[in-house]
Chain A
């Protein structure tokens, strides 16, 4: 009917939707007050109480309906679908879909890449956000600077993908490079400056990373080895998991370190950045880091402002230098907020789909879980495996979900 004219259709829906909601709330309210439980007559008192028991549910009903049908039901339905096979008419097949998924190298590639994303993006975004928040805290044009760094928040993942594709663009040898990354890359000729900037500096960064990971892992593992600590319970698997993850990270770092020095870098040749395995993941991550840093900055900046002045003044009187004030006084006080920012970005990373879809579509070993799932659902039409991979994403989210609910309950008490 209205489908020919979407604008008119949209307007009608706004009027019907908003008017319908208001009408629903008003009329249902009127109905229980006047018709069902009138506040008059012999049962007036009882009726008022009954009306007040029902009223909250009237107010809640549309929202609850939406939440249950669009968010709660799908979780269970997806779980069910992941255990059935569409081609066999929806027959129950147990864990066959999961087994099939586990046998696919593409799935493990997606898991590996998601792990990299989960480690790198929240860490770098939070670190940059904290850095900017601290630097802009006391300068006059800080608000302007923050506003500009916050700006990518408004840009869609797809728009950001186009922006960064231009940066990573590659032209044939005989033409001018129009991607800034290649234009800069061609300035390096393998001389001493190139070695310092592209081999020594990254190596030091990687080694620093390895040291940090190793120390974190050691603090987890030490408890297993040490005597007198609590060995029992769910902590042991967690500690082992962290240890294995850390070993893997160290291995990845050291092998890329070797790659930098052994292979020699292809100076003077324009690179197609998005097709270089492993490294291309980082080029994709840059896009999300660019967007999320502003988010981290806004929240951490507010947290920094909330720190009581006295603690900082006391530190200054005691002779602390600005770095000590930052790391020893400020950061510990906003640790709670840092954790919140970290987990929020982690959630965004788990669901990241648009960036990979628009830039590489999972080719050249850049697959991530959300895009893998989309591939299975809508290209291969394999609902079983697609649902199974969605459940994997849900499982990864669950710890954060539990933690959030736990905190919310604690806060309300």
Chain B
């Protein structure tokens, strides 16, 4: 209420802050996965993903150029000049020439070593290494630096998961398998359910009330009960395990919700339109295809989103009715579960695989959220 908001601005601030905290809390897990999918395996295992968002202090070791090839005479001494960063500059905080004291000097300082040998390192990474013939031979002088490294992200994980990975690491096939399961399993139940919903909403016949009640009852039947009898049925009539079986199963399991949602929506359409059409001589079939279907678009969209999310995210039905021993028809959820078992510690693979599988539903969710909310309300509040 505006009056309350005006009087108690402290409370309003508390509301804003607590909502912001809740939203952050809810987003935090997903962001963690998202950020991790852009980090290399080394980065993921050396620091938490939250550290990846900020510049980090990091110790690195470089070597001056090979003195035998690069040294030039300077009086009776020799000098090697160069830059320790070849193309990837760092912001040097401190540096050193011994592993026992890696941050002995500031950029621009000169490190004096034994017998007149010295190294000077500038902030941009260029160095001057000076010494006599014996000192400047063999391998290049080691230079330790402590640098602030800006956040670094890579797309390599996605390349691996989508294209170049081998075996389980490659999700491309599973992605297309999931699509193959999802699209028919979303479209077919809509057609079937729409006719049934029209009959239950606008046609008079004995037993209608009982049928509606039966549909409401079947809404809650756990599909766990259906697994064994249907698998036996599928194996018995020769469908076996495969796409046809999983399409049939998804179509049927989505049917109660589809009929229920669509019938509730169609009942609310204005009676006048339908009766006028009947008076004008339209058949039920014409009324349905010309009037009811176009008007029911919002309800159709609601159900389509539900069914899409459900079939895309499903694991159980695919495991039972689709995936056979060869595993060539595996879907993404199943492949991720297998990756959890075999590559449990390889977070760069896991995070990327999981994000590939949740990206599509997230896109659909944000694009069509309106219809999803409407469907939820129609399905639950009534």
- Name A's B-contacting residues (CB within 8 A): 3, 6-7, 9-10, 13-14, 17-18, 21-22, 25-26, 29, 33, 53, 55-57, 59-60, 62-64, 66-67, 69-75, 77-78, 81, 128, 131-132, 135-136, 138-139, 142, 145, 147-167, 169, 171, 175-180, 183, 290, 293, 295, 298-299, 302-303, 312-313, 316, 322, 337, 340-341, 344, 347, 350-351, 353-354, 357-358, 370, 373-374, 377-378, 383, 386-387, 390-391, 393-394, 397, 400-401, 404-405, 408-409, 411-412
Contacts and interface: CB of A to CB of B under 8 A. Distances in A.
* Most-contacted residue by chain A among B28, B215, B227, B382 (CB, 10 A): B227
B224 to A, nearest CB: 5
B191 interface: yes
Contacts of B33: 162-163, 166
Nearest to A167: B29
B15 A70 contact: no
Interface string B254-281: 0110010000000000000000000000
14 contacts: A56-B199, A57-B205, A59-B196, A63-B196, A63-B255, A70-B230, A149-B26, A154-B309, A162-B340, A322-B4, A340-B380, A354-B316, A370-B224, A408-B216
B253 interface: yes
Contacts of A391: 225
Contact of A25 (B48, B285, B312): B285
A393 B221 CA distance: 9
Contacts of A153: 309, 365, 372
Contact of B315 (A70, A155, A156, A394): A156
Interface in B182-200: 183-184, 187-188, 191-193, 195-196, 198-200
A275 to B, nearest CB: 13
Given A56-B203, A77-B229, A163-B354, A25 B195 contact: yes
Residue among B44, B226, B361, B377 having the largest count of chain A Cβ atoms under 10 Å: B226
B336 to A, nearest CB: 5
Contacts of A353: 224, 315-316
Nearest to B305: A154
A75 B46 CA distance: 52
A180 B48 contact: yes
A150 B369 contact: yes
B242 interface: yes
Given A6-B243, A358-B337, A66 B252 contact: yes
Given A135-B15, A394-B222, A404-B217, A341 B380 contact: yes
Most chain A CB within 10 A, of B47, B220, B380, is at B220
A145 B23 contact: yes
Given A67-B255, A299-B376, A397-B220, A154 B196 contact: no
A152 B30 contact: yes
A155 B192 contact: no
A75 B19 CA distance: 44
Given A70-B252, A142-B19, 20 more contacts: A17-B188, A17-B191, A21-B195, A60-B196, A63-B259, A66-B255, A67-B255, A71-B221, A154-B309, A154-B358, A156-B333, A163-B354, A165-B350, A178-B44, A178-B48, A302-B377, A373-B224, A374-B224, A393-B225, A401-B217
B342 to A, nearest CB: 13
Given A55-B284, A63-B193, A401-B221, A71 B252 contact: yes
A22 B187 CA distance: 12
Contacts of A411: 382
Contacts of B49: 166, 178
Interface in B340-382: 340, 347, 350-351, 353-354, 357-358, 361-362, 364-366, 369, 372-373, 376-377, 380-382
